[in-house]
Amino acid sequence: MEILPESIKKLINILSYFPSIGPRQATRLAFYLINKGQNEIIGLIKNLEALNKIKICNFCFFPHENQNELCDICQNTERNKSIIMIIEKETDLLSLEKANQFNGRYLIIGEISKKGILEEWQKLRLQNLKSFIQRELNGKAEEIILAFNPDSIGNFTSSIIEKEIRDFSKKITRLARGLPTGGEIEFADDETLKSAIQNRV
């Protein structure tokens, strides 16, 4: 006999699609929210509704709430727009910014396939980058940094992207191997990331 109300089943189903959350963890989260009470649920609903105001940056594809089409980093005139770091995901950007060693722009390429193959929408992001370089940087960036996790998939993806952009930058570098092989940028400590940025090759 099915004893769960339909609304709870639907919530569990939605939560189970979140990264690193399976059905069991989703069930715990659902009951946690229910037990927190109505005020907590109303607050959560308001915060979720506020996500409707989020835009995606036209250049780097990081979320923002600005009136124009660029995020805070991309519209900051004090940052060096001719040095561009290509990363996989938004949390990598947050970690790298926390290290406070990079003053250029980013391009979020999106989640990398385990096969190391770029999807069509990712190729469009690279094309967007090439168009920017041709339009704003006279066809050549000073440097493009490939900042992917130091594992086999990250290395393979770096090789693919390097072939795509090699004619659009004077120099293409990768983060130094201060990052442990198989590690993830998102979880690296500040000192490790500082070293990886400063000693890129």
CATH for 159: 3.40.1360.10
Q: What pLDDT was estimated at residue 114?
A: 76
CA distance 74 to 155: 26
**73 part of a folded domain:** yes
Which CATH number does the domain housing residue 35 bear? Answer: 1.10.8.420
3 state DSSP class of 167 = helix
Do 49 and 67 have their domain in common?
no
Residue 160 burial (C-beta neighbours within 10 Å; 0-12, 13-18, 19+): middle
Do 97 and 46 have their domain in common?
no
Placement of tokens 């989703």 in the chain: 26
Contacts for 177 with CB less than 8 Å, ≥ 6 apart: 150, 196
Q: Supply the range of the domain harboring residue 187.
A: 63-198
Do 159 and 88 have their domain in common?
yes
**78 part of a folded domain:** yes
Does 1 score more than 60 pLDDT? no
Does 144 score more than 90 pLDDT? yes
Do 113 and 31 have their domain in common?
no
Placement of tokens 């959350």 in the chain: 21
193: which DSSP letter?
H
The pTM is what?
A: 0.80
Q: What pLDDT was estimated at residue 125?
A: 96
Q: How many domains, in total, are found in the chain?
A: 2
CA distance 150 to 162: 15
Do 163 and 127 have their domain in common?
yes
pLDDT 10s digits, 43-94:
988 998 988 999 999 999 999 999 999 999 999 999 999 999 999 999 999 9
Do 16 and 84 have their domain in common?
no
CA distance 201 to 122: 24
3 state DSSP class of 116 = coil
Do 13 and 84 have their domain in common?
no
Do 145 and 188 have their domain in common?
yes
